Chains A and B, each alone.
Chain A
Amino acid sequence: LAKTTQPISMDSYEGQEVNITCSHNNIATNDYITWYQQFPSQGPRFIIQGYKTKVTNEVASLFIPADRKSSTLSLPRVSLSDTAVYYCLVYNQGGKLIFGQGTELSVKP
């Protein structure tokens, strides 16, 4: 499983765009990049997954450069309710998910 590195914490203000970058230098050819969100005392929630280029859904966008050694989760116009921990995971098959410490995003008014 590829090791990931992401910032421990980030601060933002309501209405701003937030970009959280994750490094995964030893990503394998078949690996997918997946982001989860976790609110306090709740289970992780799937946000978005991608393999290459750009993926967008109703919640976020995921940008993956050609070398796939990093990825950026983009949250447009965050609100207070986006305050959470965001996890970047990289894997290529079923089985256990290995969560790191994630990025604790704090959105202020």
Chain B
Amino acid sequence: EPEVTQTPSHQVTQMGQEVILRCVPISNHLYFYWYRQILGQKVEFLVSFYNNEISEKSEIFDDQFSVERPDGSNFTLKIRSTKLEDSAMYFCASSDDRVEENIQYFGAGTRLSVL
């Protein structure tokens, strides 16, 4: 069964450092997403990406965040200068072109720990 893969599974970084979280969406999917989940809290939407551009972003997704699809398979989330409050699980998701059904398939996540 096709799946979304994320690397690394755990990233530890110092406050102020840049991190790049990587995702390989399901190959024939067209829509890509990033979500985050702070420990013990709800899954929160960050950004959606379609046709090589951001289609929607949340208030959380400020100027410190950026996304990129550098090639035909990878989808990355960059945090330019990490803060302690960026510590969370980050999930990548993808969906196909059945917009109304919008079934999103999630990766296992990257645990980001900012020290």
The answer to whether A94 touches B102, judged by C-beta atoms less than 8 angstroms apart, is: yes
| 27 residue pairs from A and B, CB less than 8 Å apart | A30-B100, A41-B89, A42-B108, A43-B4, A43-B91, A43-B106, A44-B43, A44-B91, A45-B106, A46-B105, A49-B101, A87-B43, A93-B99, A94-B31, A95-B48, A95-B56, A96-B33, A96-B48, A96-B56, A97-B33, A97-B35, A97-B43, A97-B93, A97-B102, A97-B104, A98-B45, A99-B42
The answer to whether A49 touches B48, judged by C-beta atoms less than 8 angstroms apart, is: no
* B111 sits at the interface (CB 8 A): yes
A interface residue numbers (CB < 8 A to B): 30, 32, 34, 38, 41-46, 49, 87, 91-101
Give min CB distance, B47 to chain A, whole Å.
9
* B109 sits at the interface (CB 8 A): yes
Give min CB distance, A36 to chain B, whole Å.
8
Count of chain B residues with Cβ under 8 Å from any Cβ of A? 28
Inside 8 A of A45's CB, which chain B residues have their CB? 106
Closest 9 CB pairs of A and B: A43-B106, A96-B45, A94-B99, A99-B43, A43-B91, A94-B102, A44-B106, A43-B109, A99-B42
Give min CB distance, B110 to chain A, whole Å.
10
* B28 sits at the interface (CB 8 A): no
Query: In whole angstroms, what is the CA distance A100 to B95 when docked?
Result: 20
> What would 7 more interface pairs be, CB under 8 Å, given A32-B102, A95-B48, A101-B42?
A34-B102, A41-B111, A43-B93, A91-B102, A93-B99, A98-B45, A99-B44
Set B44, B58, B103, B109: member contacting A42, Cβ < 8 A:
B109
The answer to whether B109 touches A41, judged by C-beta atoms less than 8 angstroms apart, is: yes
Given the interface pairs A43-B91, A43-B108, A44-B91, the reply to whether A96 lies near B100 with Cβ below 8 Å is: no
The answer to whether A94 touches B95, judged by C-beta atoms less than 8 angstroms apart, is: yes
